[in-house]
Each structure stands twice: as C-alpha cells, then as structure tokens.
Structure 1
Amino acid sequence: MQRLFNPLDNVHKFDPDKHIPSLTGKVIVVTGGNSGCGKETVLQLAKHNPKRIYLAARSKAKYDDAMKAITAAVPNSSNFVTFLELDLASLESVKNASDIVLRECDRLDILVNNAGIMAVPHGLTKDGFEIQFGTNHMGHALLTRQLLPLLEKAAKEPSSDVRIINLSSIGHTMAPDQGIKFDEVKTSMTSQYPIRLYGSSKLANILYTRELAHRYPDILSVSVHPGRVETNLGSSVHEQGGFLHRVSQVSDFLIKPHSVQAGALNQIWAATWKRSDIVNGAYYVPAGKENDGSKLSRDVKLREKLWAWTEEQLVALGY
C-alpha cells in the first residue's frame, strides 16, 4: 500500500533562509509562539531583522523555554522577541494582551494566529463557549478585531504589506453537516465527537478569513493548512483511544507526519512571500498551493452569518 500524496509539495520552492525578505521596521504577533509551528515561525522571522516580534504564550515560563532554541539560532533575538501573555480560552486575557500591543506599538504588520487545540475532551472556555470553537475561533477573532486599528494604520503607509495569517486545517472537512451549530456553540456539545468540533472551529477560521479579506481588502488575509505535523497538538486524540485513535493511526500511514520545520513552511510562506502571488481570502495547503477547501468553507451566507454572530457575542460580553 502506498501513501496517498506528498504533503510537502512546495509549489514555490520556498526556502525561508533564501526567500524571506528584510523585515526591518515590521512589528509581528505570533500566537502559540512557544512551541511547534509557532516557535518555528518566530525563529525564522527573527532571522530577518524585524523591529519586534510578540511571542504570545500562556506563561512566561513557556516563553523562556522557547527562547532557548530561538536565541541559539538568532543570538540577538532576546532584544526584540517579546513575551505577550495570552490565553485564547479567556477573552479577558485576549483583551489584556491586545491592550499591551496597542499601547506599545503604532503599527502592526503581520498577525499570525497560529495557536490552537485539537480534539480535546468536551468542555467550555471561561466565557462559556465550546472549548475548541471558543479557543480556535472566538479568541483569535477578538484578538484580530482588537488589533485591526494597528493593522489598518500600517496598511495606509506607502509600500505597506500588512497580513493576517489564520491557521486552519484540512480537518475543517470534518465539521458537522451544517458546518457550525450556532444554537449549541455555547454548550459543551457532548453529542458531537471532539474531532467534529475541531472541524467546526477550523471551518470558522477559513470563513472568518474570507470575510476579513472582503471587509478589509488593503490587508492580505489568508488561511493555511500546515499538513500533518509531528507536534503535541494531536496528543489528545491518541490519549482518548478508541475510534479517533484508529483514524489517527490510519492517517499517519496515508499522510506521513512531517517535521515542525516543514509544517511551519506554509504559514511562513503566507506571511512573507511576494504579495502578488497570494490571493486575498484564499485557503492554502502546503506549501503555497491554493485549495478550494470544502463546499461549506466557500459558503458566503455562512461566512456572513459567522461574522455577524461573532460580533454579536463579543458585544454582548462587553468587547
């Protein structure tokens, strides 16, 4: 039996060391920058002289641990890679983090919404949303919304190149038939498999990205699938055992997991490759290959409903 496809089909032959341009003067935020693809993204961007990178993580200890590898590769990185405390499962934490960036910076050039959770046991965020939807979508939606003034300001500068990169997944195809169960998202949704709930949150990432591109055309907004990566993101699937574990084992064979360095390639490409080659609002699979995504991910009415519903929820909670 042969593997179905090579997940590392690098369309543009992208090499971060060769192709990332100078990032002089740019301010960057990377969520989940303490591990996996997020840490690799920070490390590679740090090599190209940015003004500041906010490494967003849940604790200073996680930042300190990540900086061991980052400073080993980029010795002066501690001068401009800054810790940003952020827990995406708490909208209060998201607001506090965004306030820090707004207070300290007069621009934001690249926002990489990388952090996320996958197929974790049923639960709720601190604000009462299904844990995966609340973390993967609502947390990033508020962060993006709060930082838009800085992104828009930077986009007005001559020769600007402002981008929002949202990490989605091919797992968005695992969403329930209607995509997002808006009437149940404020429950733990125990009637649904965790992988279905993960799919719904990743579908939301693509839909929200498409609407961002529609509403803010001066900002390049894209969603990306990293491929199947050897990180701890899927550990909860294996820990739960049963059906999901068997699916994961089959998936490991059909789509060979690849390194974190390779897995981060697609989002680093989207954040730095020449803008003229990237379609605003598009969804990309590794590396730099535009993909239609599921039918639901292209549903204009669903994306508009998601945007309106998200705004309604955030306003109701005082944000």
Structure 2
Amino acid sequence: MSLLDIFTGFMPHFLYSQFFVTPQYPTTDCTGKTIIVTGANVGLGKEAATHYARLNAEKLIIACRSTEKGEAAKRDIEASTKRSGAIEVWPLDLQDYDSVKAFAKRAEGLKRLDVVIENAGIATNTFQTVAGNESTVTTNVVSTFLLALLMLPKLRETGRNFNITPTLTIVASDVHCVTAFPERKASSIFGTLNNPKEARMGDRYNASKLLEVLTCREIAREHPVGQTKVTMNFVDPGWCHSQLMRELDFAPMRLIQRIFCRTTEIGSRTLVHAGLAGPETHGKYLSNCKIRRCAPLVEGKEGLGLQKRVWQELSEKLNAIEPGVTKVLDV
C-alpha cells in the first residue's frame, strides 16, 4: 500500500472506527451450539468466549497452549456468566503441527461443531525458525489454515446432521492494509519470508494478516459455500487492548494505546458476530460487524494473481505436513 492509500483509505477508516463506532453488543442465542475459540485464555479470545457462554452455548471449548491458563480463564468465565459445566479446556499449540492434528482428531468426537473462531496468533520482531518457517508464519498462517482444513469435515458433518451452515472465522486485522508486501515480487513468497537475511520483522505481523486475507479469499473463490457447506469468513476486531503487543510495552506505546485502543470486550463483539454470521459472509472481510472491502493490494489488479500464488505455495506446505489435506475442500 502506498502512503497515499494509507492516508486516504486506511487512516480515515481506522480513526473513524476507533473513535466513533461501537460494535453492537451480542444478543444471538447460542443454545445447543458447540463453539471452539482458539487463544481463548486471554484477550479477545477470552472475551469472545465469555460472550458465547453468556449466550447459552451448550459446549464451549477454550483452546490454548497452556491448559493451566485455560483453566484459570474457564473459572473466570464461569464466575462472570454464572454458568458451569459448559466449558472445556483443550490444549492447542500452533507452533507444533502434531498438536494441531491431535486437536482436530479430538474434535471428531464432538456431537456437533457449529462455530470455530481461529483467534490465536503471535506478533514478534524477533526472527526465529519454528517447525520449518519463521515463527509468525508458522503460527498465524500455516498452522491456522492446517487447523481450518482439518476442522472442515466435522463442521460439514454438523451441517448435514442439523441442517445448518456452520462457520469458521479467521481473526485477521486491518493492518493487512499497511504492508507494501515486497515479498510478492520474489520467486518464492514463503521462501523469502523464511530467509533471515531478507526478513522484515517490523512488518511481519502485518504481512501475516495479509496472507490470511489472501488465503481466505482464494479458498472461498475456488470453493463457494454451496460446495464447502461451511461459511469461511475473516474479521478485523479493530485495535484493542491485548497481550498481543506485549513486545511493545514501553511508556510512549502505552500512552498511544490508551488513546486509540478499543477495550478488549468491545473488540471481541466482532468475533462473536463473525462466528454467527451467515453464508453471505463466505470469503468476506468483516469490520465493525459489516462486510468491508480489503486493502487495495488485495482488491486491485494484482490481487487475484497474488492470492492464487499464496494459496499454491501454502497448499504445498500444508500437504507436506498432512498429505492430501487440501482435498477436503473438493468434497
């Protein structure tokens, strides 16, 4: 994105959203539903899980790396909603593909699965290789979509058995609008992202969110909801107080966050809305509980070719981790 695009497109929307828009408080009844929220021990995930519990979800699964922290979140949610017996804590480590596979295998035993909110992610300025990729790429992109594909059969089965269209939501971000993403000019996008000599870690979180957006759009373009039988959408919660930015915990940034950030609870309302949204949101970007256009890089003349390239490269990685995993989309 050019500076002109940032100051004429992104910034006005960002400032208006942060200061003048308050997403609607969720009221949709979730009786009978089974809902998974990843990264739900803190921040947006925990607040979204609290809403779903308050809205009478029959089963709510908190997925997080630390079951100890997950159990603490469970106790907090039970106390605040005055509900018990509905919440389970399941371990999920997105930096470990075996953990992702085990989580999805466990989910096969659920009676039903109505909603999956993929909220877990990291933001770091430190380059570290984890499971064959830079850690942000592994966590926010590769494992996120590995989990998405592995969950599709259970979501689809639920749709058939209960005559509904389940939803899988990826928590993206408006920061996908601010990366110029020069890696797109390389012969291998992921190869460049994973090269420590070429890594631009100050922009890495933004780039990872762009990759999520491009991937969601391409999957939905190739596989409409009539084929998948599952709605896949992606959502921007706005800039919220959370632990995601803990590496930037210094006085000036704390002041900026105090001025600009939404509360975590307000931001979480967008996650709840996206998870309960209908097939009309398949492949769509949701912001402030409404469908919104993506960045010019995504919507412009380069977008289609770029999302095809990203999905092709990512598909190769996913099939190397779990052979044939992308075939679930062709059912």
TM normalised by structure 1 equals 0.85
In the alignment, structure 1 residue 140 sits paired with structure 2 residue 147: no
For structure 1, the residue ranges without an aligned partner over 5 or more in a row are 240-244
SS in 1 for 2:260: coil
For structure 2, the residue ranges without an aligned partner over 5 or more in a row are 1-11, 324-331
In the alignment, structure 1 residue 264 sits paired with structure 2 residue 271: no
SS in 2 for 1:307: helix
- What aligned pairs does 1:1-319 form with structure 2 within 5 A after superposition? 4-7=15-18, 9-10=20-21, 14-16=24-26, 19-21=27-29, 23-77=30-84, 79-102=85-108, 104-125=109-130, 127-157=131-161, 159-175=163-179, 176-179=181-184, 181-187=189-195, 189-214=196-221, 215-217=223-225, 218-238=229-249, 252=257, 256-273=260-277, 275=278, 278-285=280-287, 287-298=288-299, 299-319=303-323
Deviation of the 1:178 alpha carbon? 4.3
Amino acid at match of 1:50: A
| CA RMSD of superposed structures (Å) | 2.6
Residue identity over aligned pairs, in percent, reads 24
Q: Which has the higher helix share?
A: 2
Seen in structure 2, the aligned counterparts of structure 1 residues 219 and 318 have a Cα distance that, compared at 3 Å, is closer
Deviation of the 1:296 alpha carbon? 2.9
Seen in structure 2, the aligned counterparts of structure 1 residues 148 and 119 have a Cα distance that, compared at 3 Å, is same
Seen in structure 2, the aligned counterparts of structure 1 residues 250 and 174 have a Cα distance that, compared at 3 Å, is farther
- Distance in 2 separating the partners of 1:70 and 1:252: 25
Deviation of the 1:208 alpha carbon? 1.9
Amino acid at match of 1:155: G
205-214 or 31-40, larger mean C-alpha shift: 205-214
Question: How big is each residue's C-alpha offset from its partner over 1:153-196, in whole Å with a ceiling of 9 and x where there is no partner?
Answer: 12234541311111111121243234582222344x35333231
Question: How big is each residue's C-alpha offset from its partner over 1:76-105, in whole Å with a ceiling of 9 and x where there is no partner?
Answer: 33x121111011111111111111111x21
